[in-house]
């Protein structure tokens, strides 16, 4: 019989790969999985000031002013109270009436419009944290009706003789519609960043807003 031609009888020799190369490839793969070696600095969110507006997905908000106000004592047994008020003009962009919510505090991340006020600097320490309400013709409420611009007040009590800050800055988030892949239900959520190894998950900042604080007796 004729023997088959070729070198099929020879064994191929394994290719040696340096250990250092394997380690490098593994490190690159892990880095790519966790976001890659991005040397470019993250683009900072836009900086807004009084009078400017922000599309927050579920809401449209214009940042009006920040000021110190005084609530007179209601009887001889009580005292005047001082507050730092931050004033917004907020429009509910959905088709349903929504509550205005509350800003974050030590016990809660906040919710609704208030939940998008991610962080306030400086943080004003008070017994009950910030209050959020809709003000219309001197009447307080908690409702934001569809497509109706409403005056919203974030109120922080100034305890005792505390000196109000010269300005306040908010990190503000923006809601996005996100679909549950299992149920198909679409929900408005504040997107997050991080959550990888060594990085805590935090809410994504859509803009920072700085407002000078009008002291009592100024206009």
User: For the segment 114-124, what is each residue's pLDDT rounded down to a tens digit?
Assistant: 999 999 999 88
Q: What average pLDDT does the structure give for the chain?
A: 82
3-state secondary structure of 30: helix
pLDDT more than 70, % of the chain: 75
Contact 90, 98 (CB under 8 A): no
Residue 97: which pLDDT band, with cuts at 50, 70 and 90?
Answer: very high
pLDDT of residue 41: 60
Contacts of 200 (CB under 8 A, 6+ apart): 194
Is residue 17 pLDDT above 70, yes or no?
Answer: no
3-state secondary structure of 94: coil
| Cα–Cα dist 70/82, whole Å | 4
Q: Let me know how long the chain is.
A: 219
Q: Which structure tokens are listed for 98?
A: 């929504």
Helices marked H in the chain — which ranges? 19-33, 112-115
- Predicted model pTM: 0.76
Chain segment 40-85, per-residue pLDDT in tens:
567 899 999 999 999 999 999 999 999 999 888 888 788 888 999 9
């Amino acid at each position: 019989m004729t023997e088959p031609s070729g070198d099929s009888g020879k064994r191929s020799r394994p290719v040696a790969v340096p250990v250092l190369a394997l380690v490098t490839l593994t490190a690159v793969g892990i880095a790519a999985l966790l976001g890659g070696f991005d040397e470019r600095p993250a683009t900072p969110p836009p900086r807004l000031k009084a009078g400017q507006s922000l599309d927050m997905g579920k809401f449209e908000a214009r940042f009006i002013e920040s000021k110190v106000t005084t609530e007179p004592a209601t009887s001889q047994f009580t005292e005047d109270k001082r507050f730092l008020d931050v004033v917004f003009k907020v429009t509910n962009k959905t088709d349903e009436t929504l509550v205005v919510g509350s800003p974050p505090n030590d016990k809660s991340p906040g919710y609704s419009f208030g939940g998008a006020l991610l962080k306030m600097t400086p943080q004003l320490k008070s017994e009950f944290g910030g209050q959020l309400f809709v003000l219309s013709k001197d009447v307080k409420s908690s409702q934001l009706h569809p497509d109706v611009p409403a005056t919203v007040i974030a109120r922080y009590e100034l305890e005792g003789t505390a000196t109000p800050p010269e300005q306040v800055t908010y990190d503000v988030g923006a809601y996005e519609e996100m679909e549950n892949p299992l149920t198909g239900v679409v929900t408005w959520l504040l997107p997050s960043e991080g959550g990888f190894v060594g990085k805590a998950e935090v809410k994504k900042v859509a803009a920072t807003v700085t407002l000078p604080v009008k002291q009592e007796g100024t206009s």
